[in-house]
């Protein structure tokens, strides 16, 4: 019996495919095979992906500091605790403009006292700045905003290209700001301390900007990049932000138009965590937020990185943004990455003239934090177009094979494929629409952040309804096809 005899359609050749098999063959496996398949992937996800996502390095203690250039997480955590004890550091308050400034200056004095003076020079400046800039659709004007700025240089360095590292020490009114952005302030202080006490040369000076006003519209960073004497020499930057500090920090913006930056992240980051998808989402405006990254790019015309803590984001700008929600391993993770990246960029030959390397965007992502992939935008286009062409060719070959083994023409097969494609588009709309509807209903009851009480609630509230919406149109279509098939057979 030929293959065509196994495929029977209705008399017009337009009915659904009905497969008849020879004796002893089976059209489907046991009912439990589907469940076992789902369980396999669920076990894989919870036993490998989740542990790798939340894993953190072992925290190093001060007694392990032997001048070998290691980030000491326990010391940085102690610094964060002291900063956090100041309380909310709102711009204009004594806590911001007196207590925090004195705290930072005292930390810098301590670093200077232990610095290897035969290797490095350290300069400190408290900038008081005033100015104005456009933020969103508003004209913002500011006066008397303070920055604590530190420049660390190798003594034999003659480079006029500086690397800028930035974080902000101000907070919103209701929050002590442990993660936003005290976490990164403490990280920067420890990076400065390690670099100043390690016999490791770096060509380009590093400017550490502790800015005093980010929450009110990124005014302090604007004041620095447009007015400070060192700003014109800054050729690249690393911006350090926070939106919850319970895990690994993510690189969610880089560049723009400087793919060479991701090469250095790949070489230096001990615990990579980055994705271009986050960059696309953030820059699309879907997330109503902004960072000092935009200020440096827009007003300084320099490329850089945007890092942020993101786990436990529900604490952002709330009274719950306390140090007790931050594990010590998180600050060790961020410190390991930032320290090595600062050292790498401070020796990068591209820093001498970054404009010469302005070539395009970068595509980047990590695989479970184990490996980092990056390539240029042009390479990404080639890969995407190639994948698209191969996919279309495979569809055409499949359509021809379907036509060859049935009495349907290629046009009829393609017609069915188009119908199935439309169904999948409808399924995608359902998969997005149902969770959004649930979110709207929850918001209307004033329970917007209820799922943060247990992150696994996300599975029941959003993931399961999304999967249901994804499968519903296909299920309805095939049910209708079965009914038509039964009527035709009868």
The Cα angle at residue 238 between residues 234 and 240, in degrees rounded to 5: 135
Residue 28 is predicted with a pLDDT of 63
Q: Token pair for residue 163?
A: 């690397």
Cis link prior to 89 (omega < 30° from 0)? no
What is the arithmetic mean of pLDDT over 385-414? 88
| 147-166 pLDDT, tens digit each | 999 999 999 999 999 999 99
Q: Of residues 6 and 88, which shows the higher confidence score? A: 88
Same domain assignment for residues 66 and 36? no
Q: Is the pLDDT of residue 3 over 50?
A: no
266 domain-assigned: yes
Same domain assignment for residues 356 and 412? no
How many residues are given for the chain? 490
Confidence of residue 490 (pLDDT cuts 50, 70, 90): low
Question: Active-site residues: which are they?
Answer: 214
Reduced to 3 states (helix: H, G, I; strand: E, B; else coil), residue 298 is helix
| 195-210 pLDDT, tens digit each | 999 999 999 999 999 9
Residue 108 is predicted with a pLDDT of 98
Strand partners, 132: 141
116 domain-assigned: yes
Distance, in Å, from the CA atom of 340 to the CA atom of 379, rounded to the nearest integer, reads 27
Confidence of residue 2 (pLDDT cuts 50, 70, 90): very low
Residue 34 is predicted with a pLDDT of 80
Residue 27 is predicted with a pLDDT of 56
pLDDT above 90: percentage of residues in the chain:
70
Confidence of residue 222 (pLDDT cuts 50, 70, 90): very high
Same domain assignment for residues 214 and 302? yes
Strand partners, 350: none
What is the arithmetic mean of pLDDT over 22-47? 77
190 domain-assigned: yes
Q: Which H or E run contains 43?
A: helix 32-44
Distance, in Å, from the CA atom of 13 to the CA atom of 452, rounded to the nearest integer, reads 55
Confidence of residue 23 (pLDDT cuts 50, 70, 90): very low
User: Domains in the chain: how many in total?
Assistant: 2
383 domain-assigned: no
400 domain-assigned: no
393 domain-assigned: no
Same domain assignment for residues 353 and 217? yes
Same domain assignment for residues 44 and 70? no
Q: Which H or E run contains 404?
A: helix 377-404
Reduced to 3 states (helix: H, G, I; strand: E, B; else coil), residue 166 is strand
Distance, in Å, from the CA atom of 226 to the CA atom of 291, rounded to the nearest integer, reads 16
Residue 486 is predicted with a pLDDT of 73
Reduced to 3 states (helix: H, G, I; strand: E, B; else coil), residue 270 is coil
Same domain assignment for residues 169 and 269? yes
Q: Is the pLDDT of residue 64 over 50?
A: yes
Confidence of residue 24 (pLDDT cuts 50, 70, 90): very low
Q: Is the pLDDT of residue 21 over 60?
A: no
350 domain-assigned: yes
DSSP assignment of 91-114: TTSHIIIIIIHHHHHHHHHHHHHH
| 309-350 pLDDT, tens digit each | 988 888 899 999 999 999 999 999 999 999 999 999 999 999
Q: Token pair for residue 308?
A: 């942020």
| 353-389 pLDDT, tens digit each | 999 999 889 999 999 999 999 999 999 999 999 999 9
What domain range is 160 assigned to? 62-378
Phi then psi dihedrals of residue 267, to 5 deg: -75, -30
439 domain-assigned: yes
Phi then psi dihedrals of residue 321, to 5 deg: -80, 70
* Mean of per-residue pLDDT scores for the chain: 90
């Amino acid at each position: 019996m030929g293959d065509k005899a196994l495929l029977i359609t209705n008399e017009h050749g337009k009915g659904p495919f009905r497969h008849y098999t020879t004796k002893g063959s089976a059209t489907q496996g046991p009912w439990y095979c589907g469940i076992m398949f789902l369980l396999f992937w669920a076990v894989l996800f919870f036993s490998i992906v989740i542990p790798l996502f939340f894993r953190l390095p072992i925290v190093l203690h001060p007694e392990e500091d032997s001048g070998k250039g290691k980030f000491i997480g326990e010391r940085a955590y102690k610094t964060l605790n002291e900063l956090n004890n100041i309380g909310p550091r709102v711009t204009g308050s004594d806590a911001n403009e007196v207590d925090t400034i004195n705290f930072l200056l005292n930390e810098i004095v301590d670093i200077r006292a232990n610095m290897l003076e035969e290797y490095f020079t350290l300069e400190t400046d408290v900038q008081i700045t005033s100015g104005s800039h456009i933020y969103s659709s508003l004209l913002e004007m500011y006066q008397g905003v303070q920055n604590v700025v530190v420049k660390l240089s190798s003594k034999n360095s003659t480079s006029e290209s500086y690397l800028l590292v930035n974080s902000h020490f101000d907070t919103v009114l209701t929050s002590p700001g442990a993660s936003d952005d005290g976490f990164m302030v403490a990280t920067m202080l420890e990076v400065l301390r390690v670099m100043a006490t390690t016999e490791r040369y770096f060509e380009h000076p590093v400017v550490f900007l502790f800015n005093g006003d980010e929450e009110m519209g990124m005014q302090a960073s604007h004041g620095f990049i447009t007015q400070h004497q060192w700003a014109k020499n800054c050729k690249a930057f690393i911006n350090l932000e926070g939106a919850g500090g319970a895990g690994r920090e993510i690189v969610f913006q880089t560049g723009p138009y400087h793919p060479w930056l991701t090469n250095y992240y790949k070489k230096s980051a001990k615990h990579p965590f980055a994705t271009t998808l986050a960059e696309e989402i953030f820059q699309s405006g879907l997330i109503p937020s902004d960072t000092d990254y935009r200020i440096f790019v827009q007003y300084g015309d320099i490329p850089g990185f945007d890092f942020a803590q993101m786990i436990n984001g529900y604490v952002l700008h709330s009274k719950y943004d306390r140090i007790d929600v931050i594990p010590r391993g998180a600050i060790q993770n961020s410190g390991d990455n930032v320290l090595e990246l600062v050292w790498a960029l401070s020796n990068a030959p591209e820093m001498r003239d970054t404009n010469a390397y302005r070539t395009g965007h970068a595509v980047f992502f990590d695989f479970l934090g184990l490996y980092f992939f990056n390539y240029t935008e042009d390479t990404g286009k080639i890969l995407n177009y190639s994948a698209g062409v191969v996919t279309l060719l495979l569809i055409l070959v499949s359509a021809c094979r379907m036509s060859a083994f049935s009495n349907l023409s290629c046009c009829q097969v393609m017609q069915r494929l188009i119908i199935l494609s439309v169904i999948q588009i409808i399924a995608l709309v359902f998969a997005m629409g149902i969770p959004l509807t649930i979110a709207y209903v929850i918001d209307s009851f004033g329970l917007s952040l209820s799922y943060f009480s247990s992150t696994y609630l996300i599975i029941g509230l959003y993931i399961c309804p999304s999967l249901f919406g994804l499968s519903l149109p296909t299920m309805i279509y095939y049910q209708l096809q079965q009914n038509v098939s039964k009527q035709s057979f009868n």
